Amino acid sequence: MSAPRAAVAAVDLGASSGRVLLVTLSDGRLELEPVARFANGGHDVGGVFSWDVPYLVAEIEKGLGEATRAAQAKGLVLSSLGVDSWAVDYGLLDASGHLMRLPAHHRDPRTDASFAAVTAIMDPWSLYQRSGIALLTFNTLFQLVADGDSLASAEQLLLIPDLINYFLSGVRAWEITNASTTQLLDVRREWDDELFENFALPRHLVGELIEPGQVVGPVTAPTAVAAGVSPQTLVIAVASHDTASAVLAVPAKDEHFAYISSGTWSLVGVELDEPLVDHAAFEAGYTNELGAFGRTRFLRNVMGFWLLQEVIREFALEGHEYDAATLTYEATTIAPRRFLVDAESDELLGTGDMRGRLATRCARLGTEVPQSAAEYTRCIMDSLALAYRRAVRGISLIAGVRVDAVHIVGGGALNDVLCQLTADACGVNVYAGPVEAAAIGNALMQLRGLGAVDADLGTMRRLVSTSFPTKLFEPRATEADAWIRVE
């Protein structure tokens, strides 16, 4: 490992917040400095739950200005920036390159009808065989079909990170890891032209796919330059699906591990050399998304801290203020596994009445029904751990992959209670951290594009392991039988 000094900005957009971090490489170690954080979330706009992208761009540009100044304070130049975010959502551009409307949120219910319409034309198994992507109602394919006639006046479609890159650089590009989540790519990872034709989707909406690490172009946005960003700063396409970046930054030392990218969503999976597209994987709900270095992320989507966020929000509307840390601590005083739900259920996807939906599903499974905020929190923690157990065990059975350890990255790595429950439920060691895995993976791809780090995956993961500590949670033997009984 050479020891160059370099500085890049990682823009990491989550479903509830966004942040800009300055990431520096010096003497073979990475260092993170958060320079900006801002709220994010959906808003009702004309009856469609939507993302306020102009607000996000303004906050990102301010954060990039702060990153530029923070780099200068260290005697460095901000060489590049990269953007990662959640998947499947997109903005439509008109012929003038302007947003036609705010991008719709994947939790908007408008896709329920289009999902039924699409699967009436092409059966789910056939769709899965084409792409290897699990059929989730919010996938880009179903969103586009829901948009219907409005697509006729659209010039192009850009997924959220590509859209941000466009606003910063003026260049339109389609990064492949995020594109792989749309259900619009075939298993060869090319746009599925026949699918576009079958569902009357304009093929010109999308263009040439690019790989992570590719330079998109320099910053040209006047508003970004006015915020302090140098026009010499490069925009680099990273593994722009945040889970792809997070998995890149898993500090694993051997091959036999599963990962949980834990935040608003929980993505539970392993890496494979090739997509696994068979009927068992389809029936069990596993998806094949593309990761860095051409690896396949074979995973299952599980509800994450979205469940707790919604419960806290609902109590707040009634005048009861709680924070997640306090509720998690209080939940430890409650006997485990009294309240359980299926944390993979689509019935928990949307907004509103989360407590009612959790209570209904507890009753459906024959467990007790939570009443207090702490009991709802206990329900969520136990249910997530159970879902993780099922996902990890399913991977072993369906993919034939041995799992000797689980790495939890993202915000969930800070939740000791859930990490310990995961170790108990899965029966293997759990390594928690790094928390900012998506930003780290984002930065690593930029450094690769700049030629500042060696290109192979193993070297990158060793760099993460050297730079950021993890916390070990060992399974408690006394808990094993209890998790077997509730599975």
Residue environment code for 368-381, b if the CB has 16+ CB neighbours within 10 A, otherwise e: ebbeebbbbbbbbb
105 touches 138 (CB < 8 A): no
From the list 242, 254, 278, 424, the catalytic residue is 242
- Segments of 273-428 assigned E as strands: 287-290, 296-303, 405-409
300 touches 268 (CB < 8 A): yes
Amino acid code (one letter) for 428: V
Distance CA 375, CA 417 (A): 14
Distance CA 31, CA 21 (A): 10
Annotation says 242 is catalytic: yes
- The position carrying tokens 């929980």 is 266
Distance CA 206, CA 215 (A): 19
Distance CA 261, CA 264 (A): 10
Residue environment code for 210-237, b if the CB has 16+ CB neighbours within 10 A, otherwise e: bbbbebbebbebeebeebbbbeebbbbb
Structure tokens, 264: 């608003």
Q: Cite the active site residues.
A: 242
